[in-house]
């Protein structure tokens, strides 16, 4: 069966940031330089081609965009300045929108206005809800304990509710991702036990991002910097998420926060602050690293919002510790107004890659083993450039 080419797809992907993909003439330099491309995953050259040709069904079922950590070496090498690195990034945005069954992600990626508008609406609703709740009991002068403005059990319930909504969305999308890539995307059967055999890959990639570190082995400029910062930011984020979701009561409690929780809180804050500042700085300067030269609107919203959340969180903590309870309560409301849309947005935004990427690494490992098992790996139809 012939697959239909869709020449208009390229215009669609333009909105996701793949502005230069049309320039690619398939020389394959990019795949040669990429540390992660191999015989099975022939990106970015192949992805460039599929995108140009609008082979949506193919792209939807491939893991390749997730195997790219955007070190930018391919874009530096490309003789046609087709920016394969940014194209892989755009494909990840597009995949996030494809995995998302609600269609919201697509709207966000395609329109900055829509995204900002919905964030504002959710923030305002959150603010209104909090004020409404508070007015029925708490006092702005009290931060904690009896008559508190935002008592910690209430916040806990609030967090868990949002967390569950988030988890439901993410889980459904992750299942869709699995279905696309592991069922529709595989021409050969995958035995179930391979899922068990390769399971260690999931936490391994999640916590080390070791492929990102490998990326940089070839990079002459600065060793390991983006990887370290990215890892710090991610670990900080996860720590903070766990603290907020599980340990909010001891975290918010009066003057005597337990040291163990305190330490984690500070570490996470350091990771988050350094990370967000580093990324904002590079995106503004557009220097050194090609991956920061082009910023999609969603990239900006991502770092700026996170930075705002970190700042309001820190301020709230300072006010609380210095006894300025009114101020602490006000910043807390503002903080939560940012956190709620942030968390609810997660399955529809760049942040989802935190889940999809390690999943993809895990799936990719399974696929590779499956293919290796298949003796008659039939590659005769394609032109192997790399």
Partner 1 sequence: MKNLRIGVYVCNCGTNIAKIIDAEAVAKYASNLPNVAIAKTYKYMCSNPGQEMIAQDIKDNELDRVVVAACSPNMHERTFRHALRMAGLNQYLLEMANIREQCSWVHKDRKAATKKAMALVHGAVLRVEKHEALESIDVDMSPNSLVIGGGIAGMTTALELADAGNSVHLVEKSDQLGGNVGRVDLTAPYYYSATDLLTDRITRTKSHKKIQVYLQSKVTDLSGFVGNFTANIIHLNGVPESEKTPVEVQIGNVAICTGYKEFDASRVTHYGYGKLPNVITSFELERMLRAGKVETKEGKTPKYVAIIHCVGSRNKEFHTYCSRVCCMTALKYAHEIKSANPECYVSDVYIDMNAFGKGHEDFYLQSSQAKTLFLMYDKENRPVIHKAEPSDDCEMLIEVHEKLSGEHIEIPADLIVLMVGMEAREDAHEIAHLAGISQDKDGWFIESHPKLEPVATTTDGVFIAGTCVAPKDIPDTVAQARAAAARILARIAKGKIEVDAIYSEVNKELCSGCRFCNDLCPYNAIEFIEEEGQSHVISALCKACGVCVAACPSSAIKGRHFTDDQVLAQIDGLFSKVEYELEEQPVK
Among positions 50, 219, 316, 367, the unique one binding partner 1 when judged by CB under 8 A: 50
Which partner in ligand SF4, partner 1, none is near 113 (CB below 5 to 8 A by kind)? none
Q: Which residues bind ligand SF4 (CB under 6 A)?
A: 24-30, 33-34, 36, 43-45, 48, 68-74, 77-78, 80, 82, 84-85, 88, 215
Among positions 26, 107, 139, 269, the unique one binding partner 1 when judged by CB under 8 A: 26
| For partner 1, the closer CB: 48 or 123 | 48
Among residue numbers 137 through 196, which ones bind partner 1 (CB under 8 A)?
A: none
Q: What's the token pair of residue 229?
A: 């910062």
Q: CA–CA separation, 3 vs 1, rounded Å?
A: 6
Which partner in ligand SF4, partner 1, none is near 271 (CB below 5 to 8 A by kind)? none
Which partner in ligand SF4, partner 1, none is near 8 (CB below 5 to 8 A by kind)? partner 1
Which partner in ligand SF4, partner 1, none is near 296 (CB below 5 to 8 A by kind)? none
Angstrom CA distances, 261 to 113, 148, 266, 316, stand at 39, 22, 9, 17
Give the count of residues interacting with partner 1 (CB under 8 A): 26
Backbone φ and ψ for 138, nearest 5 degrees, come out as -70, 170
- DSSP character at residue 28: -
Which partner in partner 1, ligand SF4, none is near 46 (CB below 5 to 8 A by kind)? partner 1
Contact between 383 and partner 1 by CB under 8 A: the answer reads: yes
| For partner 1, the closer CB: 2 or 113 | 2
CB of 72 to ligand SF4, least distance (A): 5
What letters, b where the CB count within 10 A reaches 16 and e where it falls short, cover 99-137? bbeeebbbebbbeeeebeebbeebbeebeeebeeebeee
From the centroid of its chain, how far is CA 382? 33
CB of 50 to partner 1, least distance (A): 7
Q: Please report the DSSP string for 314-354 in residue order.
A: HHHHHHHHTT-HHHHHHHHHHHHHHHHHHHHHGGGSGGGHH
For the chain, the first-to-last Cα distance in angstroms comes to 26
Among positions 13, 33, 34, 55, the unique one binding partner 1 when judged by CB under 8 A: 55
Which partner in partner 1, ligand SF4, none is near 215 (CB below 5 to 8 A by kind)? ligand SF4
Residues 6+ positions from 3 with CB-CB distance below 8 Å? 55, 57, 58
Q: CA–CA separation, 171 vs 149, rounded Å?
A: 34
């Amino acid at each position: 069966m012939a697959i239909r080419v869709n020449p208009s797809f390229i215009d669609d992907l333009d909105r996701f940031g793949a502005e230069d993909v049309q320039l690619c003439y398939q020389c394959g330099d990019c795949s040669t330089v990429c540390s992660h491309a191999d015989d099975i995953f022939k990106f970015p050259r192949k992805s460039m081609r599929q995108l140009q040709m609008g082979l949506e069904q193919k792209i939807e079922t491939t893991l390749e965009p997730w195997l790219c950590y955007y070190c930018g070496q391919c874009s530096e090498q490309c003789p046609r300045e087709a920016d394969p690195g940014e194209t892989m990034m755009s494909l990840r945005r597009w995949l996030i929108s494809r995995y998302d069954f609600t269609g919201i992600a697509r709207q966000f990626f395609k329109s900055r206005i829509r995204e900002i508008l919905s964030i504002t609406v959710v923030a305002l609703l959150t603010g209104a809800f909090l004020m409404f709740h508070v007015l029925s009991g708490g006092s702005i002068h009290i931060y904690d304990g009896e008559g508190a403005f935002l008592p910690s059990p209430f916040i806990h319930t609030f967090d868990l509710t949002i967390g569950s909504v988030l988890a439901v969305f993410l889980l459904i999308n992750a299942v869709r991702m699995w279905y696309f890539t592991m069922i529709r995307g595989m021409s050969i059967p995958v035995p179930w036990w391979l899922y068990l055999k390769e399971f260690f890959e999931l936490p391994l990639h999640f916590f080390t991002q070791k492929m990102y570190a490998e990326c940089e082995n070839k990079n002459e400029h600065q060793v390991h910097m983006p990887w370290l910062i990215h890892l710090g930011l991610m670990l900080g984020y996860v720590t903070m998420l766990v603290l907020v979701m599980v340990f909010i009561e001891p975290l918010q409690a009066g003057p005597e926060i337990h040291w163990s929780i305190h330490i984690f809180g500070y570490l996470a804050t350091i990771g988050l602050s350094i990370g967000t500042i580093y990324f904002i700085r590079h995106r503004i300067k557009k220097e050194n690293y090609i991956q920061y030269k082009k910023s999609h609107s969603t990239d900006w919203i991502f770092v700026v919002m996170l930075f705002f959340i970190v700042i309001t969180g820190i301020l709230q903590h300072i006010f609380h510790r210095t006894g300025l309870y009114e101020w602490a309560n006000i910043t807390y409301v503002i903080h939560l107004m940012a956190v709620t849309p942030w968390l609810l947005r997660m399955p529809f935004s760049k942040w989802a890659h935190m889940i999809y990427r390690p999943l993809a690494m895990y799936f990719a490992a399974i696929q590779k083993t499956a293919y290796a098992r298949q003796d008659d790996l039939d590659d005769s139809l394609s032109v192997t450039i790399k």
